[in-house]
Structure 1
Amino acid sequence: MKKLWFTLLLAAIASFGMAQTITIGLTVSKTGKYNVESVNQLNGIKLWQQWINDQGGIPVGNKKYKVELKYYDDESKAERVQQLYSRLISQDKVDFLISPYSSGLTAKAAVISEQYGKVMVATGAASDSIFKLGYENVYQIYTPASRYLTATIDMLKAADANLKKIAIVYEDSKFAKAVATAAKSYAQNAGLNVVLFEGYPPSTTDFGPIINKIKASGAEALVGGGHYADGATFARQLYEQKTPLKMIALLVAPASDEFAQLGDAALGVAAPSQWEPLVKYTPDCGVTPGQFVSMYEKAYGKTPAYRAAGGFAAGLVLQKAIMDAGSLDSAKVRAALDNMDLTIFFGKIKFSTDPKSHGLQLGHDMVQIQWQKKDGKLVKEIVWPLGAKTADLIYPIR
């Protein structure tokens, strides 16, 4: 009997000493069209994992749980996402989910998250439509697509009271189309004439025909774009064809550091950004913007873009919800997310609890960046809103 008691005591001690873990599942576009953005997002998630694990893990009650990540390559293909998220839940037994990059892929993952009742923090996904389907388990980090380019229109109106004609040309993808449609309505309500509203296939590499339409339309400014590959190509060809525009503002691509590789074709191009290293948010918890930038530069040798910040933010928000819930129970974590109203290094975070838009991001706002030259070097500057600017907007750019 004593021997049995001693054996049980040793087992209890060993169990107490074992590291408790929380496993978070996701897919990453290690290959395919979303590779650049998705890997940046993963870098941010992994940095958060390292940061919280270095502190002993996520406190839950009187225990701390180390974070493990389980992820697969979705190849930027929607058909792989549902298969892999089902595998993460049913075979890998993950506790929580983080979304893939892009609204299209996240929409597929959200179906599985909801089917299995698994909480999923959606980062890198701005589409409103995902959050209009009555889902209870999906929570958005990014500013929604419906508000993505509204500040860009405000900026243009403030820069040029006489501006009348704009072109909206967008990648025919779920995210970009939603952004462009909302921007068209907002621009028209602001008194602007949208003289060209046209989508292009995601695989487009020759923008010549579209650029000819822009020139023929008499547009004074262009907004639109889609993701990195198409946006960078579009900007380069606009420059090469000397398109007479006073302003170019494109989604995603100009917000990436890699955009500077375009050289003079990048100069003056603006973009809405979910986050920039120069922001000065005062967080209620977690790291400051400066601390995040320093950590990222040390880990990866470069300044983080907003996709990386969004990845770290997703982990931080999930961590805070688990801590507030004091539990790993999905219902309790959902309740904590529903009640969340805080500022982190990424900005304000607050989710809609309306059943018609549950999980939609209400708190976070965009900033506007523009590529400018400083000491002969291309740099990103924050030019809007005025209270956050690091430089004046260059207008017109040509």
Structure 2
Amino acid sequence: MDWPKWTGVPLAEVSLLMPSRLAKILALSTILVTAGCAPSQGNDDDGDSSAIPSKIVIGSTLPLTGSESKTGGRFKQGYDLAIEQENADGGVDLGGKKVPVELNLLDDTTDQAKAVNLAQRLITQDKVNFFLGTYSTALVEAQSTVAEQNKIPYVNGGGAATSIYAKGFQWVFGTLAPVENLANTEMEWIDQQQAAGKLPKPARVALIWENTSHGKDFRKGIQDFTRAHGTNYQVVTDESFALDGKDFSAILSKVRAAKPDLFMVDAHLPDFITMQRQYLSSNMCTKVLTYGARGSEADARTALGQDGVSYVLSAVWWNKQLGNTGLNKAFVDSFKAKYGTDPEWYQAQGYEAARALLTSIAKAGSVDKSKVRDQLAGLDIESILPGGRLSFPAANGGQADYPFVVQQNLPDGTSPIVYPADVATGQGVAPNPNCKG
């Protein structure tokens, strides 16, 4: 091997160098050669954040196995579709150069500790540029702390509890409007039915909620509404339950004894199916029945049968019936073309979370994390979500805020939007005609 002439030291003089001086020269040579030959890392912006990478890497975890696996799979569909569409013409435009997007997605198995550990790995070891959050309030709430500590933009469509956004975090953004809004919107529809003489006054309310931040927000929404409406409502049962329950007989016995008119429950999909099966097998029937955002899912119809979900009321963050034009039609059509089925609100939320992040990267024209965070904080774009706009208000701690839509399952298999009137696609039914007396 020839002695590198650019060291400035003739080969003949090497033997005359003191050991310390020789070591310094060799070390310098190694550094310069390594720097010249090392491959560029497209997703590492720790050095020059203005440099345009060869690809943009977005990290994410979702519950692809475990109790929330079906919902996790739906969020994956939304993420994949948004990124596929972005890459269709080359990727995100960064300063006139199209840069492809890659999703590094791991399975957190519906486990809170694993969701945190995998997020830490993706951010600190894999050096992803940005992060799309997991699904389920408990997982998002824990995982978002990792993103905040590492100062990486974190956008999620799977955490709706206000506790996630009440911590003063600057790097966390959510597309799900608050669960309190969900409860309030359902009660507004119920209040209309009561005013029309279809429901008793006062109406007796059984309030059942999962013992999570999500459930506590639902409970607060119902309590605030009933308190604000004086003697029109009376809460006769107020009970919580743990996630992933197998036996709800004790709670249902208390509900039966209280003889409620309204059975108001907040539950994730697995618990909704389990509780509703036990509700039906106990021959219970209430004038209004809701499981919060759950009720219209195809999985529920498969598990419980059409009769088992008829007249269940739900308030959701999106519905394909919201529009047959513009972004909504484009989303529904492209989703159906890719997956062969209609999307539910889960896929829509995953899609909008990814689209919000990708839009903010393009607006920043950079993979600089601070610049993208600033774009997310000031984002206000046309959206498929109710109200037609998506933003992350600072007053809400980065949580989106928009109206819910209320839908109701009917015996013919449809689930029309029944509230609010300006987007309704059908008429709601109250009281439940299956109930006698």
Amino acid aligned to 1:224: V
Aligned to 2:243: 202
What 5-or-longer segments of structure 1 have no aligned partner? 1-7, 12-17
Structure 1 residue 274 corresponds to structure 2 residue 317: yes
Choose which of 223, 235, 239 in structure 1 pairs with 2:264.
223
Matches within 5 A, 1:124-273: 124-161=158-195, 162-163=200-201, 164-191=203-230, 192-261=233-302, 262-263=304-305, 264-273=307-316
Aligned to 1:3: none
Contact kept, 8 Å, 1:322 with 1:333, in 2: the verdict is: yes
Cα distance, 1:331 vs structure 2: 1.6
Higher strand share: 1
Structure 1 residue 387 corresponds to structure 2 residue 430: no
Listed one character per residue, the Cα deviations across residues 343-365 of structure 1 (whole Å, up to 9, x for unaligned) are: 212242121224xx421223x22
Q: Which structure would you say has the larger Rg? A: 2
Amino acid aligned to 1:34: E
Cα distance, 1:33 vs structure 2: 1.2
Aligned to 2:25: none
What 5-or-longer segments of structure 2 have no aligned partner? 1-35, 40-51
Of 382-391 and 335-344, deviating more is 335-344
Contact kept, 8 Å, 2:218 with 2:266, in 1: the verdict is: no
Contact kept, 8 Å, 1:257 with 1:305, in 2: the verdict is: no
Contact kept, 8 Å, 1:229 with 1:253, in 2: the verdict is: no
Cα distance, 1:74 vs structure 2: 0.7
Contact kept, 8 Å, 2:163 with 2:213, in 1: the verdict is: no
SS in 2 for 1:118: coil
Aligned to 1:68: 102
Listed one character per residue, the Cα deviations across residues 36-60 of structure 1 (whole Å, up to 9, x for unaligned) are: 1111011110011111111221112
Cα distance, 1:123 vs structure 2: 0.9
Choose which of 285, 295, 312 in structure 1 pairs with 2:351.
312
SS in 1 for 2:426: coil
SS in 2 for 1:303: coil
Cα distance, 1:282 vs structure 2: 6.7
Amino acid aligned to 2:343: P
Q: Compute the RMSD of aligned alpha carbons.
A: 2.0
SS in 1 for 2:189: helix
Matches within 5 A, 1:291-370: 291-346=330-385, 347-354=388-395, 357-362=396-401, 364-370=402-408
Listed one character per residue, the Cα deviations across residues 71-110 of structure 1 (whole Å, up to 9, x for unaligned) are: 1111111111111111001111111001110111011111
Contact kept, 8 Å, 1:20 with 1:64, in 2: the verdict is: no
Aligned to 1:373: 411
- The alignment's TM-score, normalised by the length of structure 2, stands at 0.82
Cα distance, 1:273 vs structure 2: 0.7
SS in 2 for 1:31: coil
Aligned to 2:135: 101
Cα distance, 1:182 vs structure 2: 2.7
Of 381-390 and 158-167, deviating more is 158-167
Cα distance between partner residues in 1 of 2:100 and 2:174: 24
Cα distance, 1:190 vs structure 2: 2.5
SS in 2 for 1:396: coil
- The alignment's TM-score, normalised by the length of structure 1, stands at 0.89
Cα distance between partner residues in 2 of 1:67 and 1:395: 48
Structure 1 residues 380 and 88, CA, compared in 2 at 3 Å: closer, same or farther? same
- What count of residue pairs does the alignment treat as equivalent? 374
Cα distance between partner residues in 2 of 1:65 and 1:190: 55
SS in 2 for 1:80: helix
Amino acid aligned to 1:269: V
Cα distance between partner residues in 1 of 2:223 and 2:296: 22
Amino acid aligned to 2:149: Q
Cα distance between partner residues in 2 of 1:201 and 1:89: 31
Cα distance between partner residues in 1 of 2:53 and 2:142: 33
In the TM superposition, structure 1's runs of 4+ consecutive aligned residues that sit over 4 Å from their partners are none
SS in 1 for 2:338: helix
